[in-house]
Structure 1
C-alpha cells in the first residue's frame, strides 16, 4: 500500500509540482538559470525551482500514473466502456455481420493476448480492449437474434384477434392496447406480427389485461427516423417485440379465450392488472393532471399526462422526474431504509444487538423489486434497479455502496442483457449523470477527509442545524450542476434542445419531490393494502400541484431551447473527457481538459440541411432563413415538424398558400420569388430557397414533368415514377426511393453536378430491424392497394342482356388465338 501511495505521489508531483524536492533524480535534469537562457520551449512553472521535467521524466511519470491506475482497479472500470463501444459499432455497421467473423476475430485476439509476453503491457491493454469490444458486439448480435421480431411490411386492414397485455389511458380519451396476436382474418396475414400496439376510441367496460378481443384494425408498419440521424422507431419496436401499430376501425369486442395462456404471460398479466388497479385508485384519490403524474410516479403509467404539462416540464428541465429511473429508485430505497431504521431505533435493546442497517437494506431491496414490477419494469427502471440492488447488496456485506466499481458492474449487467439500450439517450444520460455524481462525491470525500472536524464539534445546536440545512441546499445545487453538465451534451445531441433554467428549476422542485411527493407516494402505496391510502395521496397531490405550477412558471420564462444539430464528433470527445474525469484517480484526469476543449469547439461543426422530406413523401420543410421553416401542407404531423424545427433552429412555420391567393397562376409558379413559402395548386407545390433553388412537390408524374427544366429538386409522391428528368438539372426523389431508404435531408450545394445532395436515413443492405421495408408496395414500385368494391346484389325481374351489362362485371372476351 505504501508503494502505491509513493508511486501516485511521484506521478502527480511530476506533472504538477516540477520541484527538485518532489521528483526523483532520474526524472529531472539541472539547467542553467532561466534568465541566462533564450528560446526555451519548456520553462519551469515553479518559481525558484532549479529543475524542470524532461521528456524522460514525463514518460516516467506517465508510466507511474498508469501503474497506479491499474493497482486501483481502473482497468475494471473500463470494461463496460469497451463493451458499450463494441455494441455501438455493431449497431452502426452498414451490413449485418455474421457470427463466424465476429467469433473468429475474438478467438484470434484472445490467443495473441494469451501468448504475448507480460512485459508488453501496452499491447496487451490494446488487445484486451479490442477483445472486450468484440464481446460487446457479440452481445448485441445475440440480442438481435434473440429478438427476431416479425415486422409488418405494409399497411393493411384485417380482422385481428388477440390477448390484451396492457392498457394505457391516453390524455386525448383514447385507450392504447398492447396485444399478443392470436389470429387474423379477411385477409389472413401470412407473416402476422406476434405483438401489436393499437388504439381504440372506447373499450368494453370490463376489458382488462388478459382479456381476449377481436376487431377490425388498420395496421401500420413501424416507421423509420423522421430525419437522418434521428430516433428510429423501427429499431426500438424491433427490440421491444412490437411488430406493428395502428388503430381499431371497429371494436374491440370481448370474446371467450380460445387458447391456454403461458405461465410467463399469466404473471405479466397479473402484474399489469395490479398496476391498472393501483393507477385507477390513485386517479380516484387525486384526480386531474396531478393524479396522472402520481400514477406515472408510482406505477409508470404516463400516457394520460396532458401534453401541455409534458412540454412545460421538458422546457423547464424537470421531465426526468416523470420517468421512473435512478432518482425514484433511490428515493424509494431511502424512504424504506430511513423509516425502518427509525422504527428499529425505537427499540434500543434490539438495535444494539442486531445489524439493523443490514435488515433495513434487505427489506429495501425487496421493496425495490416490488416497485420494479408494479412500475412496468421498463429498461430505465431495470437499469436503476440493478444499480441500486448492487449498492444494497454491498451494504449487506459491509462494503462501500456508492463506488465506481458498483456502477461498472451494473453497466456490465445492463449491456449483457439489453445492449441495444447503449445507443439510446436513456442509457447514456443515466450512466453519465451517475458516473459524474459518484466521481464528484469521491473527489469531495478526498478533500473532506483531510480537514479537521474540531470546529464543527464545538458548534451550538443552532449552528449545527444551520450547517446541515446549508449542506442540504449546497448538496442539491451541486448535484443539479454536476448531473446537468454531464448530460447536457447527450441531451443536445439526441433532442437538439437544452433547458437554460433547468438548474434553478430543479433546485426549486427537487425538495418538493424528495420530501413530499415520493415519500408520501411510497407511504400511500403501502397503506393501500389496509385501505388507509387516501390521506397520503392527498398530500402527494398537493406536492404535485406545486411541482406543476413551478414547471409552468419556469417554462414560460425559458427562452428558445432549440440548439440545432450537434456534431457526433463533439459528443465523442466530450464522452472521452467524462470517462477520464470520472474514472481516473491520478493526475491523468487532467487529460480530460483538452478533450473538453476540442469537444466544445466541435459542437457546431456539422452542416445544417436546407430541407427535409418525410418518408411517406407527403411533407417537405424548407429552411428559408431568419428562423423560418416553409412547409407544403397546412396540417403537418406535430411530432415531425417539432423535430425538424429543433434541428434547423426554426421558430416560425410558414404554411402553404394557394396560387390564386398570391395572384400567381399555376403556370407562373416556377417564376415565384423566394421568401413567400410554398405556393400550391391541385397537383403541385413549390417554394424557392434564398439561394434561388426551386424545390417542388408533385402529386402526379405529369405535374413533375412540367418542372424538370426549372426545379432543382422534385419530390414525386408516386411510387410508379421511373427515370424522370434524366436530361435536366432537376434531382428527382420518388415515393419508391423514400419507401426504400426512409426520410431524407437535402443539402443545396454547388459542389454537385445538379446543385443538390440528398442524404437518406437508411441504406441497403437492410439491418434486421429494417428488412420489412422491402415488402411494402411503394418500395416495390406499385401503386396503393385498392380493394375491389363488391357489386350490390340485385333481383331483376328479367335477366340482364349482355349488351346492357356493366363493363366492370362483363366476363372477359373469349380468345380466338389458338
Structure 2
C-alpha cells in the first residue's frame, strides 16, 4: 500500500519561476557591483550630500523626520538583503551616510544660530571691525562689525560705507562708531532668487545696512591678531596691484587672481565675464591654486636639480611637493580662505601627497575626498553655486579624461609637432565642451542663464590666465621688491586687456546666452543625479544616466514662465509679456531688482516701463493693466506710491480687477475678483510668482519653509 503523501499536488505555476527570476536579478546586480567595485566608494560623498539636500529642500520638521524614517527603512532593507552582499552594503552605508548628512546640516544650522533684528532700524553702531571688503567699482567699502554688547544689536552685522566718507583705508581690528540704517538679512525677492538670509544665517550675520554719516574709526594698535594682520596685508596687496595695472577692471581682475578681491571690477565687465562663461576666473579656486602649486613645485624641482649633490642624494620630488604645499596653503590664506579656495587647496595637497607616494595624481577618488572634507566641515556649502560649479567641472573633466577612448586619444606618442598640437587642441576643446554641458544646468538653476560659447572662450582664456597672466603677475610682484616691476606690470595690463576683449566680444555675440525662468527643484535633481551616474560608473550601465538627464532637461524646458512677479515688499511688479519682454511697474527700479526680475522671468532684454503698454492706464499713484492669458482677459490693479487714494475710487477699481497689488495694507473694502496682494499677505508669503494660465501662485515662503532663517508668519 502506497504511503500517503507520495502523490502531492503540483506547485502553482510561477512559484518556482519567481524565485529563479529574483535570484538571477540579484546575481546580475552583484556581478555589476563587483565590476564597479572601485567606483562604489565615490558615492559616499554623494549620499552625504543627498541627506544635506533633503534637509535644505524639505520645508519643515515633519518632512525632515519623514526623510529620516525613509532613509532608516532603506538601511533596514540593506540589512535584510544581507551585509555580505554588495547591494546590501551599498544600501546600508548609503542610507546611513544620507542620515548623517541630514543630521549634520541640521545640527550646524542650530549651532550657528545667532540673534538678528526683525525690522528696519536707525541706530548708533559701535564695535570692532572684523573684516573689510573694498568695492572701488561701486565706491563702497563693506565692513563686517562685531557690535559692543551693551547696544543690544546682533553679534555680527554687515555695513556698507561710502568711499567718500572714509578719510583713510580701513583695516580689520580697528573700532568704528557710526549712525546706520539696519535691515534684517533679506530673503529671496521672488521665488528662485538668491537667498541671502540663508547665507547670512550660516555666517552669523544678524543685520545688514548702510552708514548714514561719516564713521569715526580708531585704527587697531599692536594688539591685532594674526588674522587681522593677514586681512590688512591682503587689502594692501590688492591696492598695490590695482595701482600698478592700467584700467580699473583690469586691475580688479589682477587683484582677484592674487587675493580674491573682486571689488574693483566694473559691474558691466563682471556681467560680460558671466555671459562669456569666464566668471570662474574671478574666484580663487582650482585653476588658480593649481597654477600656484604646480608652478612652485616645478620651479623648486628645477632649482634643486641644478645641484648635482642634491640631485643624487636628496628626494627632490618630495621636497618640491612640500614647497608646493606651503605655497598652496599661503595662497589660500592670502586670498581669504573661502570655501572654494579651501576645497581646491585640500585637493591640491592630496595631489601632492599622491605624487610624493608615486600614485596617480588626479582621480575621481581625489575629487570625492575633497567633496567629503568640505561637506563634513561646511555642509551648507552644498546649496551654493560655488561648490556645485567647482565640483561639477572637476568631476566632469576627470571622468572624461579617464574614459579609455579619450585617454587613448590623448596619450603621448611619437608624432610631429603639428599633430601633437592638434591633438592637444582637440582634447582641450572636448574638455571645454564637457565642462560647459556639466555646468549649464547649475548656471540655469541659480542664475537663470548659461553661455553658449564658453567652451571656445575658455580655450583661449584659461591658457592665457594660467600660463601668461598669473606668472607675469608673480614676476611683477617679485620685481617690485627692487622697484623695477613696471615693464612686467605693462605686460600684465596688455594680457588682461586681451582677456576683457575676449569676454566682451563673446558676451556681445548673437545668441551668446540662453535664459530660462525659475527651474523646479525636481528637474535640477534629475539632471544632477543623471550626471553623477554618467560620471561615476565605468561600465555600460553608466548610459542609463542619460534618461534622468533628458527627463530633467525636458522638465526644465517645459516649466511654465510666470506671468506676474511681485517682490516681497510689494513695491515692484514685473509683467511678463510672453514675447521676450518684461514691463516693470516702477521705472525707477534699481539695477539689482531689474536683474532679479528679468532672470526669474527668463528674459534677457531691457525691461520696459508698464506705461509704455497700450493696455495699461497709469497715473503717478495707480496703474491698471489688462493681460490676455488662458483664454480670458485678466485685469491687474497695482499701486505705485505711498500716498493714500480716494477710498471710493479705490474700492470701485478693486471690484473691477482680478488681482490687486500694493506695498501697503489695502482697505477691507478692496475686494478683487481673485487675489488681493498687500502687506499682510506678503508678510506671510514673501515674493510671489503667478501663472495666470494655470491659476497657480508660487511663494518664497513655500520654498523657504520653516528653516531657521525663515521670517515668514505662515
TM-score (norm 1): 0.77
Where in structure 2 are there 5+ consecutive unaligned residues? 1-20
Question: Which of 391, 394, 414 is 1:431 aligned to?
Answer: 391
Question: Which of 518, 522, 538 is 1:585 aligned to?
Answer: 538
Shift of 1:600: 3.3
Residue 766 of structure 1 pairs with residue 713 of structure 2? no
Aligned counterparts of 1:99 and 1:315: Cα–Cα separation in 2: 37
Residue 239 of structure 1 pairs with residue 192 of structure 2? no
Residue 693 of structure 1 pairs with residue 634 of structure 2? yes
Which is further off, 525-534 or 311-320? Answer: 525-534
In the alignment, what sits opposite 1:341?
301
Which is further off, 333-342 or 593-602? Answer: 593-602
Aligned counterparts, 1:657-806, within 5 A? 657=611, 675-676=613-614, 678-691=616-629, 692-698=633-639, 699=642, 700=644, 702=647, 704-719=650-665, 721=666, 723=668, 725=670, 729-749=673-693, 756-763=695-702, 766-771=706-711
8 A contact 2:78–2:91 mirrored in 1: no
Residue 181 of structure 1 pairs with residue 160 of structure 2? no
Question: Which of 197, 213, 226 is 2:159 aligned to?
Answer: 197
Aligned counterparts of 2:190 and 2:475: Cα–Cα separation in 1: 45
Aligned counterparts, 1:597-676, within 5 A? 597-650=550-603, 651-657=605-611, 675-676=613-614
In the alignment, what sits opposite 2:453?
501
Aligned counterparts of 1:568 and 1:712: Cα–Cα separation in 2: 30
Query: 1:443-485: per-residue Cα shift (whole Å, max 9, x none)?
Result: 147852998x8xx44x5xxx2x334433442332222112111
Shift of 1:97: 6.9
In the alignment, what sits opposite 1:484?
436
Residue 118 of structure 1 pairs with residue 77 of structure 2? no
In the alignment, what sits opposite 2:33?
66
Structure with higher helix content: 2
Measured at CA, do residues 527 and 382 of structure 1 come closer, stay the same or move farther in structure 2, by a change above 3 Å? farther
8 A contact 1:167–1:175 mirrored in 2: no
8 A contact 1:204–1:253 mirrored in 2: no
Measured at CA, do residues 470 and 340 of structure 1 come closer, stay the same or move farther in structure 2, by a change above 3 Å? farther
Aligned counterparts of 2:76 and 2:634: Cα–Cα separation in 1: 58
Residue 350 of structure 1 pairs with residue 310 of structure 2? yes
In the alignment, what sits opposite 1:154?
119
Aligned counterparts of 2:28 and 2:477: Cα–Cα separation in 1: 56
In the alignment, what sits opposite 1:292?
252
Aligned counterparts of 1:279 and 1:531: Cα–Cα separation in 2: 17
Query: 1:122-150: per-residue Cα shift (whole Å, max 9, x none)?
Result: 34432322211110011201221222132
Residue 304 of structure 1 pairs with residue 264 of structure 2? yes
In the alignment, what sits opposite 2:6?
none
In the alignment, what sits opposite 2:367?
407
Aligned counterparts of 1:267 and 1:523: Cα–Cα separation in 2: 27
8 A contact 1:332–1:522 mirrored in 2: no
Measured at CA, do residues 770 and 677 of structure 1 come closer, stay the same or move farther in structure 2, by a change above 3 Å? farther
Measured at CA, do residues 102 and 570 of structure 1 come closer, stay the same or move farther in structure 2, by a change above 3 Å? closer
Question: Which of 417, 425, 428 is 1:473 aligned to?
Answer: 425
8 A contact 1:631–1:678 mirrored in 2: no
8 A contact 1:275–1:374 mirrored in 2: yes
Aligned counterparts, 1:436-451, within 5 A? 436-444=396-404, 447-448=407-408
Aligned counterparts, 1:77-476, within 5 A? 77-96=42-61, 117-119=82-84, 121-172=86-137, 174-183=139-148, 190-201=152-163, 202-205=165-168, 207-255=170-218, 266-288=225-247, 289-444=249-404, 447-448=407-408, 456-457=413-414, 463=416, 465-476=417-428
Measured at CA, do residues 355 and 740 of structure 1 come closer, stay the same or move farther in structure 2, by a change above 3 Å? same
Secondary structure of the structure 2 residue equivalent to 1:625? coil
Query: 1:43-73: per-residue Cα shift (whole Å, max 9, x none)?
Result: xxxxxxxxxxx99988755432211212x2x
* Structure with max Cα Rg: 1
8 A contact 2:30–2:85 mirrored in 1: no
Shift of 1:680: 2.3
8 A contact 1:199–1:246 mirrored in 2: no
In the alignment, what sits opposite 2:492?
540
Where in structure 1 are there 5+ consecutive unaligned residues? 1-53, 663-674, 780-818
In the alignment, what sits opposite 1:5?
none
Shift of 1:574: 2.2
In the alignment, what sits opposite 2:7?
none
Aligned counterparts of 1:428 and 1:181: Cα–Cα separation in 2: 31
Query: 1:6-47: per-residue Cα shift (whole Å, max 9, x none)?
Result: xxxxxxxxxxxxxxxxxxxxxxxxxxxxxxxxxxxxxxxxxx
Secondary structure of the structure 1 residue equivalent to 2:607? strand
8 A contact 1:499–1:558 mirrored in 2: no
Shift of 1:577: 2.2
In the alignment, what sits opposite 1:800?
none
Measured at CA, do residues 469 and 348 of structure 1 come closer, stay the same or move farther in structure 2, by a change above 3 Å? farther
Aligned counterparts of 1:243 and 1:396: Cα–Cα separation in 2: 46
8 A contact 2:570–2:661 mirrored in 1: yes
Aligned counterparts of 1:427 and 1:450: Cα–Cα separation in 2: 28
Measured at CA, do residues 694 and 422 of structure 1 come closer, stay the same or move farther in structure 2, by a change above 3 Å? same
**Count, aligned residues:** 681
Which is further off, 517-526 or 729-738? Answer: 517-526
Shift of 1:114: 6.5
Aligned counterparts of 1:649 and 1:597: Cα–Cα separation in 2: 20
Aligned counterparts of 2:243 and 2:191: Cα–Cα separation in 1: 44
Which is further off, 593-602 or 494-503? Answer: 593-602
Which is further off, 490-499 or 645-654? Answer: 645-654
Aligned counterparts, 1:13-52, within 5 A? none
Aligned counterparts of 2:410 and 2:696: Cα–Cα separation in 1: 61
Which is further off, 324-333 or 624-633? Answer: 624-633
In the alignment, what sits opposite 1:18?
none
Secondary structure of the structure 2 residue equivalent to 1:89? helix
8 A contact 2:571–2:662 mirrored in 1: no
8 A contact 1:102–1:138 mirrored in 2: no
